Amino acid sequence: MTREEALKALEEYRVSIDALDLRLLELLNERTRVVEDIGRVKRSAKLPIYEPKREDQVFANVTSHNGGPLEPDAVKRIFERIIDEMRTIQRVRMETSRDGEGNS
């Protein structure tokens, strides 16, 4: 492969990556909206934000459906980070609501 061919191929792959990133972003925001709904339910029922058993279920679900090439440990680390961010969103929303600022 020539340098020019390589650069052209890289550009095409990067266009694909950019499009995939936007799809991931859309899905993460959709997940966030559901997490916000869950947070409202937890707040109204005075349930805890952190549910280790549920997190274990999420990890089991995603790793058992993983067809690769990501290794199961990589999938779990990615979802640990996603869940951590979602938990932060729930916590902030609950605190904001208690302060009377986020009653929408």
What 27-33 contacts at long range (C-beta under 8 Å, 24+ apart), as own/partner pairs, is 28/82, 31/82, 31/86, 32/86, 32/89
| pLDDT score recorded for residue 47 | 93
Reported as a pLDDT band with limits 50, 70 and 90, residue 28 is: very high
| pLDDT score recorded for residue 103 | 46
| pLDDT score recorded for residue 102 | 47
Length of the chain, in residues = 104
| pLDDT score recorded for residue 96 | 78
| pLDDT score recorded for residue 93 | 80
39 within 8 A of 90, measured Cβ to Cβ: yes
| pLDDT score recorded for residue 101 | 47
For the segment 4-27, the average pLDDT, to the nearest whole number, is 98
Reported as a pLDDT band with limits 50, 70 and 90, residue 104 is: very low
What is the DSSP annotation of 38-77?
HHHHHHHHT--S--HHHHHHHHHHHHHT--SSS-HHHHHH
Domain range annotation of the chain: 3-98
pLDDT at 32 over 90: yes
Question: CB count, 10 Å around CB of 64?
Answer: 9
For the segment 56-77, the average pLDDT, to the nearest whole number, is 98
Residue type, 22: L
| pLDDT score recorded for residue 99 | 62
- CATH classification of 3-98 is 1.20.59.10, yes or no? yes
Structure tokens at 37: 């709904």
